[in-house]
Structure 1
Amino acid sequence: MRHYLLSSVALLASFTANADVQLKDDSDIRGKWNLYAEAAKLDGEKKNVDIVWDFADNGILHTIATDSLGRTNEMRIEVKYIVEDGVLKKEVSPGRGKFETCKAVEKTADSMVLKCSFNYFFLKK
């Protein structure tokens, strides 16, 4: 019986650890975040990136990507975003009106992991 109880507690703890974080509104994410890595799986190999996501209070996500090896060195893109039903919904491409849903997998005051359609995004304030 004791083994069964310990197994049940461990299983419950693993489900709790992997539960998504519910965002109450855009104030949970507003401001500048440094997107420093992305990965196909949460515990998979991370690709380092240098991108700033600035969630403005007007529903616009300002993205600034730095590529020291590229021709342009810096790329700026603005897309719309909303926080609805506890998740972030952001435009896939500017002005297209097609949104992808991103769930916060982990969130503290100064770090966040988002699971979007195809990638996990690792961000720090």
Structure 2
Amino acid sequence: MKTIISLLSLFAALAAFSANAEVKLEDNSKILGKWVVTAEALGLDREKKALHVTWEFQKDGTLVTTGEDARSGIGSMNIPIKYSVADGVIKKQTAPGREKYEECAVVEIEGNDMILKCKFLYFFLTRK
């Protein structure tokens, strides 16, 4: 009986672990192209804040962020930053011109949807 309970506990733990398992990237081939960042959240099960931003992962290691700040009246802005794929995760600059990087793990890629887990936020993206 103890063996059965131990096995059930082990299977439950493995199922919980695999539900939050990350996709290990070998290179940038799965993420190349334009993605619409539809929302951000503090956790997978937390409230999502809608965003209207586009990220374009380019072959040369540039991530171009395009967004609009309706309050400033500036219109659309393109902000290029550096990124790379190493150790199975995306390493992207935190700000243009700074050599400080953050890691973003791919939590899930399914069809045209991707979820990234960065240091403080989860990003929900749809391929454009």
How does the TM-score come out when normalised to structure 2?
0.89
Contact 1:104/1:113 (<8 A) preserved: yes
- The superposition leaves residues 96-122 of structure 1 with CA deviations (integer Å, 9 ceiling, x where unpaired) of 111111011111241111111111100
CA separation in 2, counterparts of 1:70 and 1:8?
Answer: 54
User: How far 1:17 sits from its partner (Å)?
Assistant: 1.2
Contact 1:80/1:90 (<8 A) preserved: yes
Number of equivalenced pairs: 125
Counterpart amino acid of residue 10 in structure 2: S
Q: Which residue of 2 aligns with 1:103?
A: 105
User: How far 1:79 sits from its partner (Å)?
Assistant: 0.2
CA separation in 1, counterparts of 2:66 and 2:72?
Answer: 14
Counterpart amino acid of residue 99 in structure 1: Y
- 1:39 pairs with 2:41: yes
Which range moved further: 61-70 or 97-106? 61-70
For 1:18, which of 1, 17, 20 is the aligned residue?
A: 20
- The superposition leaves residues 47-77 of structure 1 with CA deviations (integer Å, 9 ceiling, x where unpaired) of 0001100001111001111344542232210
For 1:89, which of 81, 88, 91 is the aligned residue?
A: 91
**For structure 2, which runs of at least 5 residues remain unmatched after alignment?**
none
Counterpart amino acid of residue 31 in structure 1: G
The Cα RMSD (Å) is 1.5
Q: Which residue of 2 aligns with 1:123?
A: 125
Q: Which residue of 1 aligns with 2:76?
A: 74
Counterpart amino acid of residue 15 in structure 1: F
CA separation in 2, counterparts of 1:34 and 1:107?
Answer: 14
Q: Percent identity?
A: 48
**For structure 1, which runs of at least 5 residues remain unmatched after alignment?**
none
